[in-house]
């Protein structure tokens, strides 16, 4: 299997090279040259498989340059760190509403599904190629901690995570800045997530810099992130009741568009998921996109759901490429217009597949309280956004993207109960080690120059 850039101006790569490269040299994002198609017989064969084995059956179609026995071992290792043996359990709340819990990994967020795997893929590449690698990412909260914990102490690696100073939850920051690992650098940026992501893209555009440091991206711009996340959609679809499977809507809290993109990509592979609801917080560019067709940046307002405090959704480019028939020239035109003007007006969207909802900060505590009183179930602020406007016409499967224990202040204010997790309690006793930097590519470049492996 080969992987091509959405902008069509760089040669195709194999899986391992595309993973190691992250962002394509032409500024685009890698996607499979062709998408495999799953038949009803394939889905029937997949249905009884445990999570790790299903992940292997899926990823072996893409990671064709890794020996199958090696790939199976990498995948098995990646999911031994999850606290629930089901990996991604479905919790039924009532006849029409269920929750897919995606927070049983080591950092209590859905990002662990991809980043435990990606960390082990990086470790495999370092060992087999005899090279070091420096991993760079930007985060609005959960990606950074999950990426860091996927690479903790792994030989031949260093990881640099940019995050907006003061705009993550205290426990999210502690997960990044209290590891004590020598290969981890938590870089607190004076600015928003979008500022951090813009600096990251500038650094990856510096071909000499990225080559000199063997720089790889850990954000959802890395294709391994999207492919790994496809698996929990497939796993969940196969575990829905047969009677409602074909009509269930997946409701996805979304900021950087990578999570819902994975489900939509799986649908493009022939898995008959009915529809997706894109659930945003008050930073609602994706809500505006899917309700009006207008993709336009506005100011980021810090919220109770900080991982969704994003305006420029990096995975939108993959969605654009696939939805307009893989027309790289058109992608370049749209992205250039968006870069210059901060907006783009689209004429057509698949309204049967996508809908959207918006949740304000004022609504989040009341939704948490309502879900708790109705079901005795506690949701984190991001998952609460998904409950803002559930369908009355069909069953809903809400993707619970983080443990409520990561956001105790919001939960306490909403229901008077403090959610706890032993791993987070231990972090409160550790010293915080972060590096304060301006949201400037030059300052970040100098820091990496001084600390890269």
User: Could you list the active site residues?
Assistant: 111
Contacts (Cβ under 8 Å, ≥6 apart) of 255? 140, 280, 281, 283, 307, 308, 309, 310, 313
Between the CA of residue 411 and those of 3, 397, 404, what are the distances in Å? 43, 22, 7
Between the CA of residue 143 and those of 60, 130, 247, what are the distances in Å? 25, 27, 31
d(CA 23, CA 219): 9
Cα torsion 437, 443, 446, 452 to 10°: value is 50
- 3-state SS string for the chain: CCEEECCCCCCCECHHHHHHHCECCCCCEEEECCCCCCCHHHHHHHCCCCHHHHHHHHHCCCCCCCCHHHHHHHHHHHCCCCCCCCCCCEEEEECCEEEEECCCCCCCECCHHHHHHHHHHHHHHHHHHCCCEEEEEECCCHHHHHHHHHHCCCCCEEEEEEEECCCCCHHHHHHHHCCCCCCEEEEEEECCHHHHHHHHHHHHHCHHHHHHCCEEECCCCCHHHHHHHHHHHHHHHHHCCCCCHHHCEEEEECCCCHHHHHHHHHHHCCCCCCEEEEEECCCCHHHHHHHHCEEECCCCCCCCCHHHCCCCCCCHHHHHHHHCCCCHHHHHHHHHHHHHHCEEECCCCCCCCEEEEECCCCHHHHHHHHHHHHHCCCCCHHHHHHCCCCCCCCCEEEEECECHHHCHHHHHHHHCCCCCCHHHHHHCCCCCCCEEEECCHHHHHHHHHHHCC
d(CA 115, CA 119): 6
């Amino acid at each position: 299997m080969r992987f091509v850039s959405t902008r069509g101006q760089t040669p195709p790569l194999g899986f391992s090279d595309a993973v190691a490269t992250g962002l394509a040299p032409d500024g685009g994002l890698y996607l499979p040259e062709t998408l495999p198609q799953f038949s009803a017989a394939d889905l029937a064969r997949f249905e009884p498989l445990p999570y790790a084995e299903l992940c292997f059956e899926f990823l072996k179609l893409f990671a064709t340059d890794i020996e199958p026995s090696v790939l199976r071992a990498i995948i098995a290792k990646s999911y031994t760190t999850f606290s629930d043996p089901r990996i991604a359990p479905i919790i039924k709340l009532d006849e029409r509403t269920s929750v897919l819990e995606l927070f049983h990994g080591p950092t209590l967020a859905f990002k662990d599904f991809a980043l435990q795997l990606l960390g082990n893929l990086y470790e495999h590449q370092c060992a087999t190629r005899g090279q070091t690698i420096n991993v760079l990412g930007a985060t609005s909260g959960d990606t950074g901690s999950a990426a860091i914990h996927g690479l903790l102490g792994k030989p031949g690696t260093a990881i640099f995570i940019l995050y907006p100073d003061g705009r993550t939850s205290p426990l999210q920051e502690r997960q990044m800045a209290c590891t004590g690992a020598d290969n981890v650098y938590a870089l607190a940026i004076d600015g928003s997530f979008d500022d951090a992501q813009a600096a990251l893209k500038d650094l990856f555009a510096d071909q000499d810099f990225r080559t000199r440091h063997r720089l790889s991206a850990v954000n959802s711009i890395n294709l391994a992130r999207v492919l790994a996340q496809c698996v929990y959609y497939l796993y969940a679809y196969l575990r829905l009741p047969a009677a409602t499977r074909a009509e269930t809507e997946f409701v996805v809290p979304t900021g950087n568009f990578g999570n819902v993109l994975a489900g939509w990509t799986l649908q493009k592979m022939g898995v008959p998921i009915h529809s997706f609801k894109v659930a945003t917080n008050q930073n609602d560019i994706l809500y505006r996109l899917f309700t009006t067709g207008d993709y336009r940046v506005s100011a980021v307002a810090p919220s109770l759901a900080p991982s969704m405090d994003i305006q420029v959704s990096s995975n939108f480019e993959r969605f654009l490429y696939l939805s307009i028939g893989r027309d790289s020239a058109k992608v370049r035109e749209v992205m250039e217009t968006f870069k210059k003007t901060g907006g783009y007006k689209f004429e057509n969207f698949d309204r049967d597949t996508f809908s959207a909802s918006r949740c304000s900060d004022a609504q989040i505590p009341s939704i948490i309280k309502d879900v708790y009183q109705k079901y005795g179930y506690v949701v984190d602020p991001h998952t609460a956004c998904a409950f803002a406007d559930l369908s009355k016409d069909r069953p809903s499967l809400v993707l619970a993207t983080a443990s409520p224990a990561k956001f105790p202040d919001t939960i306490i204010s909403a229901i008077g109960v403090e959610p706890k997790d032993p791993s987070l309690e231990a972090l409160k006793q550790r010293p915080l080690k972060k590096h304060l930097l301006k949201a400037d590519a030059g300052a970040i470049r100098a820091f990496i120059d001084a600390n890269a492996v």
